[in-house]
Structure 1
Amino acid sequence: MAAPRLRMAAGRCFYQVFRLSRSAGGAAAGRTGIRRFSGAAAQHAAGPWRLLGAACVQRLAVISEEQRPMEARFSELMHQMELERSLMSDHELRLLDDKKKLKRRQAVDYDSEEEEDEDRDQDIILTQDLEDAWEQRRKLFHTQPRVQGDVDVRVERSDRWLTEPLVLLTQQEVGADRLWLLPQTPWEAGETLKTTAQRALSSTPGLEMQTVFLGSAPCGLYKYRLPRAVRGSEGVTGVKVFFFKAVLRGALPPPGPSSIWARKSELKDYLKPSYLDKIRPFLLDL
């Protein structure tokens, strides 16, 4: 007889919660049966947990990677096929026309009176002369190196490893330790968790940059319990960190005093394994 009473009690509790959500959420919330998620509701839902918002900022690859041997051979094959199937360009047609004019002028029975008026009054600028001028201009153009010397060693620079995406890490105090983490800060009443993540990024000292957040919903969650000695003194059971994705936009920022830009393969040298396992699934490889 205990099982039917338990089912009735569960159904009654659900009905009471549903009525409460209809009365507290207004007309719009009443139609869906879902209460509006306000700051007070977030604090009530957190209970003994402390909420934090963190921003996972990535600087995407700036230049393309070096071609693999198979990719280089395939690219060369496609270029050759495109060249064989294409029509002649205006430059190539002019080159053929110049060869005909030059051959006609070098003939023994050449008569300049037979030339058209426009060709008689001006010298011929051969296509080869244009190509020589273009070649001289090309030699004056120099590209930047793909690897910028010791920049790839200095992890605080955002312009290192231009062929790979980088992740922003900041050094923060957690208890008595200083750890490398994603920029994070405690949630405050009246703000959304995304606003908290944005505030964590803007409050990082010495870090000025433009970012674009990818959505308003968190992309990951990291949860851990505090030691029993800390629980009693602070009255909290643990911490929940909500991650929000963002990408760097605009100019690359200058190095900050307590921040680094790490490659995906370097994160294991700075982050704890349990923390890294939570952020690895949503890191972009672009």
Structure 2
Amino acid sequence: MAVLQTMGYFTRYFRQTLTFLRTRSQSSLSTVGATGRWQIVGAACITRQPVVCPPLTPIEQQYSEMLATVEKNLSLKSDHELRHEQDLIRTQFLKSGDAEDIDLEDAAKQTAVEFADACEEELRTFKASLPEPGTDDTNDLSSLSRSLERSLVLVVKQKLGTNHEWVLPQTPWVPGETLRQTCERVVRESCGDDLQVKFLGNAPCGFYKYKYPKNVHQEEFIGAKVFFFKGQVRDTSGSVQLGEDIAEHQWLTQDELDDKFKQSYAKSVSQFLVSDQ
């Protein structure tokens, strides 16, 4: 009898515990559903790769000169060097008066020395269309042609809530599209059709989240979860055509991003950018 009473007591206690946990769980879920939702956002990290080689460091310059010397000493003679030797032999025959076996038509042609002099003169008059590595011909941060020896990242001053913030171009995810399609859409909406961007994968390369201020909660979202996708500019002749919510844009090197972004945002972005220094 005592055993049955004890079993009945534990059964009632177990049922009461289950009822309490079920009620608390449903209450917690309803609270999360009402005030704990996060907005999914896609952001495009658009980079422009270096156009010219960066200037060599002193040790790189010494190593390059050493390799050039070794290659010259071990290489075979080029066609130009063989031609120069033939010209010297022909000249010796002409000076000695023994010119019976020499084709005068070949002797009247341009010699290797004359060809080299013509090439040097053409080189002196040549003007490169690109600036020398290490020089920047423009201080315009919105120009895609600045810092040609460095990698550049597109940042925009975008309206988020009631303020404008410097971020990578971003837009909320729309049901029915993938996150990559969201980033492709943000390029069209924020940068226009003239900027051709190739995305490098279907999976995000980085993640960042932040909470909205209580007075600007959007559709009961408590904050945004931002997924970054990396893309590269296909054609450097393209330009950025700002969208409605974009006030300004800049092409910045990686060491210039820290001064533009918030500290936490800059830390998240730096985790998926490869340094070019």
Q: TM-score range by the shorter chain?
A: 0.7 to 0.9
Match for residue 141 of structure 1? 126
Match for residue 173 of structure 2? 187
Match for residue 175 of structure 1? 161
Correspondences of 1:49-68 after superposition (within 5 Å): 49-68=38-57
Pair 1:91 & 2:80 matched:
yes
State how far apart, in whole Å, the 1-side matches of 2:161 and 2:239 are: 29
State how far apart, in whole Å, the 2-side matches of 1:207 and 1:64 are: 29
Alignment length (residue pairs): 237
State how far apart, in whole Å, the 1-side matches of 2:144 and 2:210 are: 31
Pair 1:237 & 2:226 matched:
no
- Counterpart amino acid of 2:72? L
Asked whether the equivalents of residues 226 and 238 of structure 1 are also in contact (C-alpha less than 8 Å), the reply is: yes
Identity of aligned residues (%): 35
Asked whether the equivalents of residues 195 and 240 of structure 2 are also in contact (C-alpha less than 8 Å), the reply is: no
Correspondences of 1:1-286 after superposition (within 5 Å): 48-107=37-96, 110-112=97-99, 114-116=100-102, 119-121=103-105, 123-125=107-109, 126-143=111-128, 144-146=130-132, 147-149=135-137, 151=138, 153-204=139-190, 208-231=194-217, 234-254=219-239, 256-257=241-242, 258-285=248-275
Pairwise CA distance, 1:259: 1.4
Could you say what secondary structure the match of 2:221 adopts? coil
State how far apart, in whole Å, the 1-side matches of 2:104 and 2:256 are: 70
Pairwise CA distance, 1:139: 2.3
Match for residue 23 of structure 1? none
Q: Greater shift after overlay, 63-72 or 220-229? A: 220-229
Q: Residues 50 and 255 (structure 1 numbering): CA distance in 2 closer, same or farther, change over 3 Å? A: closer
Query: Deviation per CA, 1:248-268, whole angstroms, max 9, x where unpaired?
Result: 112332354521111111112
Asked whether the equivalents of residues 57 and 167 of structure 1 are also in contact (C-alpha less than 8 Å), the reply is: yes
Asked whether the equivalents of residues 47 and 152 of structure 2 are also in contact (C-alpha less than 8 Å), the reply is: yes
Q: Given the two structures, how large is their TM-score scaled by the length of structure 1?
A: 0.76
- Counterpart amino acid of 1:177? N
Pairwise CA distance, 1:179: 0.6
Asked whether the equivalents of residues 44 and 231 of structure 2 are also in contact (C-alpha less than 8 Å), the reply is: yes
Pairwise CA distance, 1:230: 3.7
State how far apart, in whole Å, the 2-side matches of 1:132 and 1:139 are: 11
State how far apart, in whole Å, the 1-side matches of 2:77 and 2:182 are: 60
Pairwise CA distance, 1:106: 1.2
Asked whether the equivalents of residues 157 and 255 of structure 1 are also in contact (C-alpha less than 8 Å), the reply is: no
Could you say what secondary structure the match of 1:266 adopts? helix
Pairwise CA distance, 1:148: 4.1
Asked whether the equivalents of residues 191 and 240 of structure 2 are also in contact (C-alpha less than 8 Å), the reply is: no
Asked whether the equivalents of residues 194 and 240 of structure 2 are also in contact (C-alpha less than 8 Å), the reply is: no
State how far apart, in whole Å, the 2-side matches of 1:53 and 1:121 are: 72
Q: Residues 93 and 51 (structure 1 numbering): CA distance in 2 closer, same or farther, change over 3 Å? A: same
State how far apart, in whole Å, the 2-side matches of 1:247 and 1:220 are: 16
State how far apart, in whole Å, the 1-side matches of 2:106 and 2:178 are: 75
Asked whether the equivalents of residues 161 and 216 of structure 2 are also in contact (C-alpha less than 8 Å), the reply is: no
State how far apart, in whole Å, the 2-side matches of 1:267 and 1:121 are: 66
State how far apart, in whole Å, the 1-side matches of 2:181 and 2:238 are: 22
Alignment RMSD, CA only? 2.4
